[in-house]
Amino acid sequence: MTGSPTFETILYRQLKSRDAEIYHALWLDALRLAPSSFGSSLEEEQAKDTSEFARAIERNAIFGAWNGTRGLVGTAGLSVKAGAKTRHKAVLFRLFVAPDWRAKGIGYTLVQHVIREARPLVEAVQLAVATHNTAAVRLYDTCGFREYGLERRALKVGDNDYVDEYLMELTFDDGR
């Protein structure tokens, strides 16, 4: 039998501004489910208008994993820095895969899309990841990111919980 799409088939494509609503909804899910994995707060992001997400999609390269039945099930973004002295670097942001879709290689593939986009544009891709987030740290390590720093108390969640973050980067001085 030839490969007809199954209910688990995933397609990857860059988001367009018309995807802003579904992107906003998935991002709110991410903050509900993994509040200590991201710097933004649920309340702040709930208050935002969907047009802000459309603008973010236009300014950055945000890749989505799409399933025919469920819609958007994962994202990862690349933001190239704008300053004259920093535009040789980019940041990987908002890597998230919906819980039912994890451990299928989706996060890895999204990161590969970000790397492919970044390679001709910048010299390094950087990110911050909570030290307790072993799944994400391992995934970044598999993708070639290396730790270059540690920020203690990078995030404060609620009144008493602090999150330390590893700073990781992937450099392209391998001749690309």
- Residues at the site binding ligand COA, with contacts judged by CB under 6 A: 34, 37, 95-97, 102-108, 129, 133, 135-136, 138-139, 142
Q: Which CB, 34 or 121, lies closer to ligand COA?
A: 34
Provide the β-strand partners of residue 126. Answer: 91, 169
Query: How wide is the angle at C-alpha 135 spanned by C-alphas 42 and 117, nearest 5°?
Result: 80
Q: Which CB, 109 or 171, lies closer to ligand COA?
A: 109
For strands 161-171 and 10-14, give the pairing. Answer: unpaired
Q: How far is the CB of 18 from ligand COA (least distance, A)?
A: 24
Contact 164, 151 (CB under 8 A): yes
Q: How far is the CB of 2 from ligand COA (least distance, A)?
A: 23
Q: Which CB, 59 or 102, lies closer to ligand COA?
A: 102
Q: How far is the CB of 141 from ligand COA (least distance, A)?
A: 8
